[in-house]
């Protein structure tokens, strides 16, 4: 299910802890990382490849601000539990849907149990896609665009020592 | 935008350029940027000079790719170029989307405070849709168990105090689709092939 922290030595941990905050955007980024961590470029690349193949790193690359790199919106629908998966299949097949989670925990009268992210190259296309999907599904789509983001530090400190005890 | 509209008599072709420039203003991306985004959104090639590798794919020099990456970062289109951890694989198996009904007059200050609480990965203000959807603040919580997420939510509740009228924690019971591909939708008809069921 998940990896154990003991499989990752201090170099692995350093790579994750330091570089989840950002790699140097320079001609030889992995050489620059290697110099800082006191190892070779080849070793850094090999470590990143291993961490990626174990899916401990989902990727090494740019993190886009989607509000500026296109249009996207969090959306939800309330559908009967017994037909939920059929609705989910329709949603997943719609162009622009890139996340879709079944979620529980709302009061019955609210009932939104499928939560997805709709994306499009621009706002008019986003609206058009949502309108088309709404007509296709036959249920209203709750549209929740981001109005303001409050998060500043996007990294997430990993408590390695604590994890080792679990 | 005002500059391009003030050009009263454009020469042939400059119309196209004006449109391109305006498109870049609206979205922060021109065609070459978009090609780079498409080529890198699932990750950079892990080679000594990743920019040249990307450049070969999109028909640019490595220098131009690097320059455009830097420019997109400076404009805020790219937040950072990073090693992106998959917390789930490290044991963060519980994620709770918490939704809060918070006093509009205090939400900007409280949103920033809540975003700084441990375990919060995203924190956004979103519109209410009354009467059925009263929640205007969203905070995504990550923990190793639902108990841990409950404790984080309790910390948020305490911080919000009387400004919060109601809240809910929505746990994901199933991931029905998850892909980092954002601009794939620019090519209609390709999105369904990216569908991945899990669980």
B53-72, pLDDT tens digit by residue? 999 999 999 999 999 999 99
Least confident of A37-41, B27-31, B44-48, B91-95: B27-31
Q: Which residues of B touch A166 (CB under 8 A)?
A: 91, 144
Domains located in chain A, CATH noted = 9-63 (1.10.10), 71-144 (3.30.70.3460)
Q: Which residues of B touch A21 (CB under 8 A)?
A: 80, 82
CA distance A36 to A26: 14
Confidence (pLDDT) at B4: 37
Confidence (pLDDT) at B198: 29
A151 with B126: Cβ contact below 8 A: no
Tokens 């990550």, residue located: B142
Mark which residues 86-145 of A lie under 8 Å from B by CB.
88, 91-107, 109-110, 112, 114-116, 119-122, 129, 142-145
| DSSP secondary structure of A45-92 | HHHHHHHHHTTSEEEEEEEE-TTTSSEEEEEEE---GGGHHHHHHHHH
Yes or no: say if B168 and B134 are a contact pair by the CB < 8 Å rule: no
Structure confidence at residue B101 as a pLDDT band (50, 70, 90) = very high
Task: Decide which of B38 and B107 is more confident.
Answer: B107
CA distance B81 to A25: 7
Residue A18: C-alpha distances to residues A4, A156, B8, B66, B177 (Å) = 19, 11, 52, 21, 29
pLDDT beyond 90 at B48: yes
Q: Following CA atoms B64, B67, B72, B75 in sequence, which dihedral angle do they give, to the nearest 10 degrees?
A: -140
Of B76, B126, B189, the CB nearest to A146: B126
| Domain B87-171 of CATH type 3.30.70.3460 | yes
- The nearest alpha carbon in chain A to B91 belongs to A2
**Mean pLDDT, residues B142-153:** 92
**Mean pLDDT, residues B113-118:** 90
Both tokens of B11, joined, read: 């020469």
Domain locations in chain B as residue ranges? 13-75, 87-171
Least confident of A156-160, B45-49, B97-101, B165-169: A156-160
A70 with B180: Cβ contact below 8 A: no
CA distance B65 to B78: 13
CA distance A91 to B104: 32
Whether residue B131 is preceded by a cis peptide bond, meaning omega within 30 degrees of 0, is yes
pLDDT beyond 50 at B5: no
CA distance B82 to B94: 24
Q: Three-class SS of residue B122? A: strand
CA distance B136 to B125: 6
Structure confidence at residue B28 as a pLDDT band (50, 70, 90) = low
ipTM of the assembly? 0.79
Instruction: Per-residue pLDDT tens, chain A, 166 aa: give them.
Output: 577 888 899 999 999 988 998 999 999 999 999 999 999 999 999 999 999 999 999 999 998 876 666 788 999 999 999 999 999 999 999 999 988 889 988 876 678 999 999 988 889 999 999 999 999 999 999 999 999 988 755 566 677 777 776 5
Q: Following CA atoms B23, B25, B28, B30 in sequence, which dihedral angle do they give, to the nearest 10 degrees?
A: 40
Tokens 């021109």, residue located: B30
A137 to chain B, minimum CA–CA distance in Å? Answer: 16
Q: What are phi and psi of A7, to 5 degrees?
A: -75, -5
């Amino acid at each position: 299910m998940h990896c154990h922290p003991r499989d990752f030595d201090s170099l692995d941990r350093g790579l994750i802890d330091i570089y989840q905050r950002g790699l140097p955007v320079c001609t030889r980024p992995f050489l620059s990382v290697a110099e800082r961590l006191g190892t070779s470029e080849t070793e850094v690349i090999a470590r990143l490849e291993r961490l990626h193949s174990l899916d401990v790193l989902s990727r090494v690359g740019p993190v886009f601000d989607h509000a500026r790199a296109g249009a996207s919106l969090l959306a939800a629908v309330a559908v009967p539990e017994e037909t939920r998966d059929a609705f989910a299949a329709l949603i997943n097949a719609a162009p622009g849907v890139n996340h879709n989670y079944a979620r529980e925990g709302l009061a019955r009268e609210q009932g939104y149990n499928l939560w997805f992210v709709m994306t499009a190259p621009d706002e008019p296309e986003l609206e058009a896609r949502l309108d088309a999907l709404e007509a296709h599904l036959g249920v209203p789509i709750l549209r929740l665009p981001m109005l303001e983001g409050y998060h500043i530090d996007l990294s997430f400190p990993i408590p390695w020592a604590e994890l080792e005890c679990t | 935008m005002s500059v391009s509209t003030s050009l009263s008599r454009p020469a042939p072709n400059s119309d196209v350029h004006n449109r391109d420039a305006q498109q870049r203003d609206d979205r922060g991306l021109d065609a070459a940027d978009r090609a780079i985004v498409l080529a890198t959104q699932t990750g950079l090639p892990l080679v000594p000079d990743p920019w040249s590798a990307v450049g070969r794919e999109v028909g640019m020099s490595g220098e131009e790719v690097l320059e455009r990456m830097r420019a997109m970062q400076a404009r805020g289109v790219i937040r950072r170029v990073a090693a992106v951890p998959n917390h789930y694989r490290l044991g963060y198996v519980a994620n709770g989307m918490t939704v809060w009904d918070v006093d509009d007059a205090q939400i900007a200050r409280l949103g920033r405070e809540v975003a700084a609480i441990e375990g919060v990965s995203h924190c956004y203000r979103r519109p209410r849709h009354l009467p059925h959807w009263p929640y205007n603040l969203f905070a995504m919580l990550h923990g190793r168990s639902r108990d841990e997420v409950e404790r984080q939510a309790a910390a948020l509740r305490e911080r919000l105090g009387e400004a919060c009228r109601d809240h809910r924690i929505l746990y994901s019971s199933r991931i029905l689709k998850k892909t980092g591909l954002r601009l794939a939708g620019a090519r209609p008809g390709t999105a369904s092939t990216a569908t991945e069921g899990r669980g």
